[in-house]
Amino acid sequence: MSALKVFNKGRYHIRVQGTPGPEWSEYYGDMLVSEEVGSGEHPTALLTGHVQDQSALLGVLNRLVDMGCPLLLVEYIPKKTSQIIKEETE
């Protein structure tokens, strides 16, 4: 397995408190957004997708914070796991 590098494309899960609506989609790029209603008081959203590099990831995170969505989780998804997820959704 190769090491993660700052300038490599990567797949990420980003969980935020709140639900960024479709009108904000231009701010978080091609990421898939799924709203989650858990046992907590506040709804959350999970954004999943590829970003060009970690600089682009920081751009997405900054935009989400600017929209008023507190960050709960940022998780890198290794290529091997990404392939398994892709196969399960096909």
Q: What is the pLDDT of residue 8?
A: 84
Q: What is the pLDDT of residue 2?
A: 63
CATH number for the domain spanning 31: value is 3.30.70
Q: What is the pLDDT of residue 7?
A: 80
Q: What is the pLDDT of residues 4-31, one digit of tens each?
A: 778 888 899 999 998 777 676 677 777 8
Do the domain assignments include residue 62? yes
Do the domain assignments include residue 68? yes
Do the domain assignments include residue 69? yes
For the record, the structure tokens of 31 come out as 């990421």
pTM equals 0.76
Do the domain assignments include residue 3? no
Residue-range definition of the domain harbouring residue 77: 10-89
Do the domain assignments include residue 80? yes
Which strand (E) or helix (H) includes residue 17? strand 10-17
Do the domain assignments include residue 2? no
pLDDT band at residue 70 using 50, 70 and 90 as cut-offs: very high
- The domain tally of the chain equals 1
Do the domain assignments include residue 49? yes
Between 5 and 61, the higher pLDDT residue: 61
